[in-house]
């Protein structure tokens, strides 16, 4: 789209046909964006305004005897607005609503993340890791907020990153005291079994979610024998 717009805008300075082609192409691109993206009403209004501005710029330039170069510049600006207004407004709409095609894996309300962070800071002691996590998505909000080391047990699709033996060694050495588990794919009746490290964590950790001030149980666990 960018290459086509720039090429037609340059040619519009020399050819009336190119100017018309640019206006038509911009209108078609905006129409497709409206049909596919269903953007907010403000975006549609912006496109209509840009289209009217393009036509007005051409008419004014011709009536006043202005240069074709000036008319082409105004036309290019209007076309740029027409083409980008819809995707821009749709992007703002998506960000404002927090929408995502992949859902909200690992989502945690901001207040809950703050509560969890405060509890861990008060109880982490000399542990190297803020906590361990059974999945990368689950720990995402906490990592974003604190930027502190987190020990990951699995990667995407529950691929193991750490053995049960290494996790046990880290716990016994006091390098990690807490873990985010939750339900997820490693629940009691899950189709896929837990990885060895997650299974070890489940059998050697106690649920302290309520003690941490979290609204629901089954999220934060404390490793048995890992200190307070």
Distance of alpha carbon 62 from alpha carbon 193, whole angstroms: 74
| 32-46, 66-80, 91-105, 208-222: segment of lowest average pLDDT | 32-46
What is the value of pTM for the model shown? 0.57
Longest alpha-carbon distance in the chain: 87
Tokens 């170069």 sit at which residue? 69
Calculate the average pLDDT of the chain: 80
pLDDT tens digit string along 83-110? 787 778 778 877 887 777 766 667 788 8
């Amino acid at each position: 789209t960018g290459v086509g717009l720039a090429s037609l805008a340059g040619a519009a300075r020399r050819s009336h046909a190119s100017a018309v082609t640019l206006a038509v192409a911009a209108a078609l691109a905006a129409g497709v964006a409206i049909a596919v993206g269903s953007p907010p009403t403000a975006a549609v209004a912006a496109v209509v305004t840009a289209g009217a501005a393009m036509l007005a710029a051409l008419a004014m330039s011709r009536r006043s005897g202005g240069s074709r170069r000036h008319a082409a510049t105004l036309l290019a600006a209007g076309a740029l607005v027409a083409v980008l207004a819809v995707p821009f407004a749709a992007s703002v709409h998506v960000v404002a609503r927090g929408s995502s095609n992949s859902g909200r894996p690992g989502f945690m309300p901001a207040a809950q993340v703050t509560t969890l962070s405060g509890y861990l800071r008060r109880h982490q002691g000399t542990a190297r890791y803020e906590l361990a996590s059974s999945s990368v998505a689950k720990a995402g909000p906490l990592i974003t907020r604190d930027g502190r080391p987190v020990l990951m047990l699995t990667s995407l699709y529950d691929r193991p990153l750490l053995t049960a033996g290494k996790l046990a060694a880290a716990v016994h050495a006091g390098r990690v005291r807490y873990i985010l588990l939750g339900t997820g794919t490693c629940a009691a009746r899950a189709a896929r079994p837990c990885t060895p490290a997650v299974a070890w964590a489940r059998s050697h950790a106690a649920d302290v979610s309520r003690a941490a001030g979290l609204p629901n149980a089954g999220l934060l666990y404390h490793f048995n024998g890992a200190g307070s």
